[in-house]
Amino acid sequence: MTLSSQFIKAREDFANWYDSKAEEVQEFIDEVSDNTCFIIDEEEYDAFMELLEDIGIDSQEQFMDRFHGEYEGTGDNILSEFAREFYDSVGYDTPDHLEGCVDYESVWHNFLDEDFYPVEFKGNTYFFNNNR
């Protein structure tokens, strides 16, 4: 299999961009890369990290402490999905016979929206806790 010259150039451009960053910024980029799937090129990393700075996240450590997940898509259905998965992750087991009865969108708006901050970026949603 032969790689296209366009692909090779894109990889070289990314490497040059990455190498031009300070070590702590590279660590931040690495952490974002390790935990996300939809952020893929230099411009997206720069824009995403700038957006994170607006909510007080500007280092690898802050990202690690506050990041709670990446979801494909935006909107109330994503807020509901996050709420359901969050409660599952903390050990709250909804009995099977009640699973369809829980309004997770309401759970988000009434219990989680003050503790977590959803960031929409390029058609996807990223959740961060509000502990600053």
Domain extents for the chain? 5-129
Q: Are 114 and 130 in contact (CB under 8 A)?
A: yes
Neighbours of 29 (CB within 10 A): 20
The whole-number pLDDT of residue 101 equals 82
Q: How many Cα atoms occupy the beta-carbon half-sphere of 35 within 13 Å?
A: 19
> Could you read off the pLDDT tens digit of each residue along the chain, which spans 132 residues?
788 999 899 999 999 999 999 999 999 999 999 999 999 999 999 999 999 999 999 999 999 999 999 999 999 999 999 999 998 888 777 777 777 788 999 999 999 999 999 999 999 999 999 875
The predicted pLDDT at position 49 comes to 97
Q: What is the pTM of this model?
A: 0.89
Residues facing residue 72 across a β-bridge:
124
- State the pLDDT at residue 92: 77
Distance CA 132, CA 124 (A): 23
Strands 67-72 and 124-129 turn out to be: antiparallel
What pLDDT is attached to residue 111? 92
The pLDDT of residue 132 is: 52
- Neighbour count for residue 76 (Cβ, 10 Å): 11
